[in-house]
Amino acid sequence: MSPSDRDQDSTEEIAAEQDYLTLLYAKLDTERETAQARLTDALRQSGGPPQARAERDTAATTYTERLSQLNSVEQGLCFGRLDFEHDEPVHIGRLGLFDEEDDYQPLLVDWRAPVARPFYLATAASPDGVRRRRHIRTLSRKVVGVDDEILDLNAADQGHDLGLAGEAALLAALERRRTGEMADIVATIQAEQDQIIRSGLNGVLVVQGGPGTGKTAVALHRAAYLLYTYREQLTSRGVLVVGPNSTFLRYIGQVLPSLGETGVLLATVGELYPGLTALGEDSREATEIKGRPCMVEVLEQAVADRQQVPDPVLEIEVDGEILTLEREPCERARQKARETRRPHNLARRVFVDILLDELTRQSAQRTEDNVFEGLPEIALTEDETPDAEVLDAQDLATIRAELAEDGGVRAAFDRLWPKLGPPELLGDLYGSADRLASAAAGHLTAAERESLLRAPGSYWTPADVPLLDELAELLGVDDTEAKARREQREREERAYAEGVLHVLEQDEEIIDEEVLRVRDVLDAELLAERQQRSGELTAAERAARDRTWTFGHVIVDEAQELSAMAWRLLMRRCPSRSMTVVGDVAQTGSAAGTSSWAEVLRPYVEDRWRLRELTVNYRTPAEIMDVAARVLAAANPDLAVPTSVRESGMVPWQRRLDVAEVPEGIRGLAERELVAADGGTVAVLCPASLLEPLGTALDDLLPAPEEQDARLSLLTVELAKGLEFDAVVLVSPDEIVAESPNGLNDLYVALTRATQRLGILHTGAEPVPMSGPANGGSAPG
Ligand SMILES: Nc1ncnc2c1ncn2[C@@H]1O[C@H](COP(=O)(O)OP(=O)(O)OP(=O)(O)O)[C@@H](O)[C@H]1O
């Protein structure tokens, strides 16, 4: 076949695919119109029995979700086609479309359906009945190209040694300019990634892989797959995706909506304590200490320290009389309360009950003494005993109830066993060297305790959130009063709704006797219910407001950074242990983070977790990985860098400047990289110590904080974790290494952020030889 025949072929193929795509979009438009009409219909109806109302609400929610799903797949609706040896071809896309007029024949197959799987897995050596795999490139609703792979044995010999599927489409996707928002990879998922995405729902799955191997992309597509496959199980409990910081969450935020999935909660660990925003920042040392597992014992002791007994006696004045609480009964009450093993605020009731008995006994004794005081001694008759009591059970109950309400008695109980909230207790602990010394005895040194001290009212930090969550468990919520208040509020809302109906009815009588009566379409119960519900919430929205919410599945990204205390919090949110844990132990930056998955998971699932590894680097060209490999070899000689899929033809540039000259020099370099990136993104990555001077030097080139699609970013390595840019300028590698105990890991992360160009600006000694003959590392693929 001559080249012009091939062009002709491809023009015809494109035209044929265009016809099919036009049909698919017409179908999509019809589906949208139908969903919109049904939604309008459901919203317009009102009244009827409660069951009909509930059905209508469910219908409205279903059609709203369907509509948003149909809208989200507008771009790249169909991206592939499989031609089989024996069966009819199928087109593959972001969601399934069916032809109702032809017995629901599939027009478009959802990429997550089993029949679409060979699109990602079939190879020439193992074609699985597939004859041809076609990638269809589109721009809006127009087909702009097709890339075909014929899966026959001739092709098997020519395959790429990395076993890539749809190589042309993959390389085109990888070469595209970055925008500051992660894109989905649904059209070019590779076989090793597909295995992870479609792995079963149950148990803990760990995905370990070097930089750029697609861990984040895979984790997000797995969320979409699980929601599709286990829809019923997961929509009610929701899926949680945890990321390291809000910059990262913004970066990945569009991927799931572009896959038609919106019911997922994306959050950092610092955002998982509802009602609290962790705006503060800890020193590196304090972050590490707050993450240690021994903090559980420190907090337990801090709670125990708030359960006091008098030394030796506490006097309480009640109605001019002095009652006393001595050490012994208080110790007994404390012992009994602790033995219940209930959280502090709930065990308090036992403590209070026992001491109320004690005070009641004293008060009754006092009353009896008063009754008999001054009376002449009267001889007992034969049927009287000397112990006959003056006060009966009813009297004792009254005394007890009065004591329970007495301000002095309540204050005494609050002093001995105060009701406590997590922020209050933790604030008190951080605010007092003495309290800290008592709680942390045997766990933290004086210097370590010192680093936790802070002024009252300081902002909470992300590392405080797991501690607050732990305290919420230790303290418990005594919700008796809250429950009573809630019931009262519900009663008031019903009464208010009754009142509203009454007023409306009166108005009606005045305006028009003939019109439908308000009570025919509304009743008090419904009005009150509407008020309370104030709109249907998705599981993700409800979960975000509820600390005790447990999710159907939890995905943790950059999981190597999490502290032991953060793991405890996440495990509480996922008692089913249906989790996907994604990370790279070679990239651990936080001193509280981990270098071993087994160590992290053992306390929760022992060795019952499965490991999958990703080995191909889709982000970073081989020339850059060559430099990164030298750093990894120095940081962790046992680990290998992933193999790059491509070369860029550009060896990273390296330059030397005096540290004082950097602010002046950086501007020109950043401008040059912006031009070279040609509309793509550029990041200057620097040690924390240079953030301010470089920020000033680059001021007018940097975006305003609210600007979304920044072309230039200035970041520390910690904040750049998980992100990628077309070009990176790395400043002062030696300082980056010196700033952290895991400095070489940080440098490795920084070196692997670029998709095209990397420049290194040295200001001191090279922490690891970064140029010259390679001493190991990845050979260009
Ligand atoms: N199959 C694929 N098709 C197209 N692009 C892909 C594929 N797999 C990964 N990529 C791209 O490679 C880049 C790196 O992916 P991702 O950020 O998920 O890697 P990572 O393993 O999480 O990296 P890091 O550990 O450095 O954070 C992204 O731009 C992603 O879109």
Residue 538 has pLDDT above 70, yes or no: yes
Residues 37 and 180 in one domain: yes
**How many angstroms separate the Cα of 46 from the Cα of each of 42, 53, 66?**
8, 7, 22
CA dihedral of residues 53, 58, 61, 66 (deg, nearest 10)? -130
What is the count of structural domains for the chain?
A: 3
Residues 181 and 298 in one domain: no
Cis omega (within 30 of 0) for bond into 312: yes
Which residue range(s) make up the domain with 36?
3-186
* Mutation to probe ligand 1, out of 179, 215, 755 (largest number of atoms < 8 A from CB): 215
**CA-based nearest residue to 598, from 609, 587, 612:** 609
With a pLDDT cut of 90, the percent of the chain lying above it is 66
Q: Does 211 belong to an annotated binding site?
A: yes
Q: Does 343 belong to an annotated binding site?
A: no
| pLDDT recorded at residue 514 | 40
Within a domain: residue 214? no
Domain boundary at 186, 218, 241, which?
186
| pLDDT recorded at residue 534 | 39
Domain boundary at 404, 433, 449, which?
449
Confirm if 299 and 467 have CB atoms less than 8 A apart. yes
> Which of 52-61, 68-77, 271-280, 430-439 shows the lowest mean pLDDT across its residues?
52-61
Residues 179 and 308 in one domain: no
Query: 378-399 pLDDT, tens per residue?
Result: 666 767 665 556 778 898 999 9
Q: How far is the CA of 622 from the centre of ligand 1 (A)?
A: 15
Q: Which amino acid is at 561?
A: E
**How many angstroms separate the Cα of 149 from the Cα of each of 80, 123, 186, 190, 747?**
11, 9, 18, 14, 39
Q: How far is the CA of 724 from the centre of ligand 1 (A)?
A: 9
Q: Does 210 belong to an annotated binding site?
A: yes
CATH number of the CATH domain containing 742: 3.40.50.300
Secondary structure class of 691 (helix, strand, coil): helix
Q: Does 743 belong to an annotated binding site?
A: no
In terms of pLDDT, which residue wins out, 141 or 532?
141
Q: How far is the CA of 381 from the centre of ligand 1 (A)?
A: 97
Ligand 1 first shell, C-beta below 6 A: 170, 173-174, 183, 185, 188-190, 193, 209, 211-217, 584, 587, 618-619, 722, 724, 752
Alpha carbon distance, N-terminus to C-terminus of the chain? 31
Domain boundary at 124, 152, 186, which?
186
| pLDDT recorded at residue 49 | 74
Confirm if 731 and 682 have CB atoms less than 8 A apart. no
| Whole-number average pLDDT of the chain | 87
Q: Does 216 belong to an annotated binding site?
A: yes
* Structure letter (DSSP) for residue 123: -
In terms of pLDDT, which residue wins out, 56 or 526?
56
Phi, psi (rounded to 5 degrees) for 366 = -60, -45
User: Residue 268: CA atoms inside 13 Å, Cβ hemisphere, count?
Assistant: 21
- State CA 411 to chain mean position distance: 41
* Mutation to probe ligand 1, out of 618, 685, 758 (largest number of atoms < 8 A from CB): 618
Q: How far is the CA of 616 from the centre of ligand 1 (A)?
A: 10
- State CA 706 to chain mean position distance: 22
Within a domain: residue 82? yes
Nearest CA to ligand 1 atom 14: 212
Inter-residue long-range contacts of 54-59, CB under 8 Å, 24+ positions, other chains counted: 57/536
Tokens of 319: 């109605």
Residues 294 and 182 in one domain: no
d(CA 213, CA 198): 17
| pLDDT recorded at residue 511 | 43
Within a domain: residue 33? yes
Query: 634-684 pLDDT, tens per residue?
Result: 998 888 899 999 999 999 999 999 988 999 999 999 999 999 998 899 999
Confirm if 92 and 78 have CB atoms less than 8 A apart. yes
* Mutation to probe ligand 1, out of 147, 216, 587 (largest number of atoms < 8 A from CB): 216
**CA-based nearest residue to 297, from 2, 484, 607, 564:** 564
Atom index in ligand 1 nearest the CA of residue 722 equals: 27
Residues 320 and 441 in one domain: yes
d(CA 205, CA 577): 10
CA angle, 71 as apex, 70 and 74 as ends, to 5°? Answer: 95
**How many angstroms separate the Cα of 762 from the Cα of each of 303, 665, 670, 740, 741?**
50, 12, 15, 18, 20
- The sheet carrying 90-93 orders its strands as 97-99, 105-110, 90-93, 78-84, 130-139, 142-150
Phi, psi (rounded to 5 degrees) for 163 = 65, 40
| Integer Rg of the chain from CA | 34
Query: 152-166 pLDDT, tens per residue?
Result: 766 555 545 677 778
Q: How far is the CA of 518 from the centre of ligand 1 (A)?
A: 58
d(CA 307, CA 677): 63
Q: How far is the CA of 582 from the centre of ligand 1 (A)?
A: 12
CA angle, 652 as apex, 649 and 658 as ends, to 5°? Answer: 160
Within a domain: residue 110? yes
Length of the chain equals 781
Within a domain: residue 194? no
Secondary structure class of 146 (helix, strand, coil): strand
Within a domain: residue 314? yes
Q: Does 159 belong to an annotated binding site?
A: no
* Structure letter (DSSP) for residue 781: -
Tokens of 145: 């190209």
Residue 25 has pLDDT above 60, yes or no: yes
Q: What is the pTM of this model?
A: 0.86
What's the rounded mean pLDDT across residues 301-330? 95
Nearest CA to ligand 1 atom 30: 214
Secondary structure class of 56 (helix, strand, coil): helix
* Structure letter (DSSP) for residue 93: E
Q: Does 212 belong to an annotated binding site?
A: yes
**CA-based nearest residue to 677, from 622, 727, 714:** 727
For residue 700, what are the β-bridge partners? Answer: none
Query: 471-505 pLDDT, tens per residue?
Result: 999 999 766 666 666 677 667 666 665 665 555 55
Residues 436 and 315 in one domain: yes
* Structure letter (DSSP) for residue 664: H
Confirm if 746 and 593 have CB atoms less than 8 A apart. no
**CA-based nearest residue to 301, from 142, 474, 458:** 474
Q: Does 215 belong to an annotated binding site?
A: yes
Within a domain: residue 588? no
Within a domain: residue 102? yes
